[in-house]
Amino acid sequence: MSDSSDVGYHAQRQARWHYGEIVFWLLVLACGFAFPTRYLIMTDILRLALFAMSLDLILGYAGIVSLGHAAFFGVGAYAAGLLALHGIVNEPVLALIVAGLAAMVLGFATSFLVIRGVDLTRLMVTLGIALLLEALAERFSNITGGTDGLQGIEMQPIFGQIPFDMFGKAGFFYSLAVLFLLFLFARRVVHSPFGLSLRAIKNNPLRAAAIGIPVNRRLIAIYTLAAFYAGIAGALFTQTTAIASLDVFAFERSADLMLVLVIGGTGYLYGGLIGAVIFRMLQELFSTITPQYWQFWIGLVLVVIVLVGRQRLHRWVLYVPNLIVRQVAGRKAVVAVPESDA
């Protein structure tokens, strides 16, 4: 068996759906029915998961670090808010797409700035763009409501049928549907030849260019796509909370996002989803115990994660499940979280 067919075989195998994945999504759906009083926090987790998946697309697959991903989130959020507030596009799903496209345009425009430079430069340029947008939103307070945010947004029912309720049930299932669809698409993209070429670029841009991959064009494409995803996440945020305020652009949002993704692991799409669950639950747990000093405990967890090492931690977490799997399905089924970071 030659090497090239070997790679092809694995690329195919890896693109196939694994039972675990199906179980994962069924579990998520089950959560929706199992905890009818916790829709809000679960919706929050779904939004964050989508947002983290967006960052994973560029960080995990193309190796572009960003500390300003909130720029796209914010543009999506304000776009959705303004569309609903002024009644331009009343139907939420359509508004969602329009908002995503708005973010996408920004992503395309700024991608040319981002593909230049080393990691640190990228971090700062992306951060700068987000901060600039925040300052813009504050400056044009007649449009954005400034520090007070967009107030009085009223969302119309989804497809004109399903209204957003106070308990967040509609919002949860709506977000879940959006997340799942976008996940399917992302999954398709990263397993396509396009996605594989991105990995090649991430591993070694020079070599990738040498074998004929148009490096810059691919990076621009994935960055634009990620911006679209982030914009959708932002629009979901506005639609499910009926609020858009300046903090959608905040540095803290981008930084939290980075933490989420690093906790969950990059480069296998589920990292963002899992990281979002863990991060939010920890935050919720600590801030319930101590509303004033929860940051300390979150900080401690982060420090411990790094010191122990994520690899080791993943092994520990997977130890018991793997024991079971080994009994049931034999040695080969044993799994580990991939370690691929920038």
Q: Which amino acid is at 101?
A: L
Alpha-helical (H) ranges within the chain are 3-15, 19-34, 39-59, 70-85, 92-114, 119-139, 141-144, 169-191, 193-203, 205-210, 215-241, 251-264, 270-289, 294-308, 310-329
List phi, psi (to 5°) of 186: -60, -40
Q: Is the dihedral of CA 132, 138, 143, 149 positive or negative?
A: positive
Determine, following the binding rule CB under 8 A, whether residue 93 of this chain makes contact with other proteins: no
We find the least distance from the C-beta atom of residue 242 to other proteins, in angstroms, to be 8
181 contributes a contact to other proteins by CB under 8 A = no
Q: Which is nearer to other proteins, 101 or 258 (CB)?
A: 258
Residues 104-123 that bind other proteins (CB under 8 A): 113, 116-121, 123
Task: Determine if 247 is a binding residue for other proteins (CB under 8 A).
Answer: yes
Calpha distance 56→222 (Å, rounded): 11
Segment interacting with other proteins (CB under 8 A) among 83-91, 98-106, 220-228, 320-328? 320-328
Q: x/- string (CB under 8 A) for other proteins, residues 138-157? A: xx-x----xxxx-x------
Shortest gap between Cβ of 101 and other proteins (angstroms)?
23
Binds other proteins by CB under 8 A, chosen from 55, 65, 71, 103: 65
The distance of closest approach from Cβ of residue 298 to other proteins in the complex, given in angstroms and rounded to an integer, is: 6
Integer Cα distance of 30 and 232 in angstroms: 24
Q: Which stretch binds other proteins (CB under 8 A): 86-94, 99-107, 135-143, 215-223?
A: 135-143
CB 164 within 8 A of CB 170: yes
Token pair belonging to 292: 């004033």
Closest CA to 46 of 22, 28, 19: 28
Can residue 18 be called a binding residue for other proteins (CB under 8 A)?
Answer: yes
Tell me, by CB under 8 A, how many residues bind other proteins: 116
Q: Tell which one of 136, 143, 177, 181 touches other proteins (CB under 8 A).
A: 136
Nearest Cα neighbor of 299 from 255, 266, 336, 236 is: 255
List the one residue from 10, 188, 312, 326 that touches other proteins (CB under 8 A). Answer: 10
> Is residue 258 within the footprint of other proteins (CB under 8 A)?
yes
Least distance (Å) from other proteins to the CB of residue 98? 21
Choose which of 237, 249, 257, 272 interacts with other proteins (CB under 8 A). Answer: 237
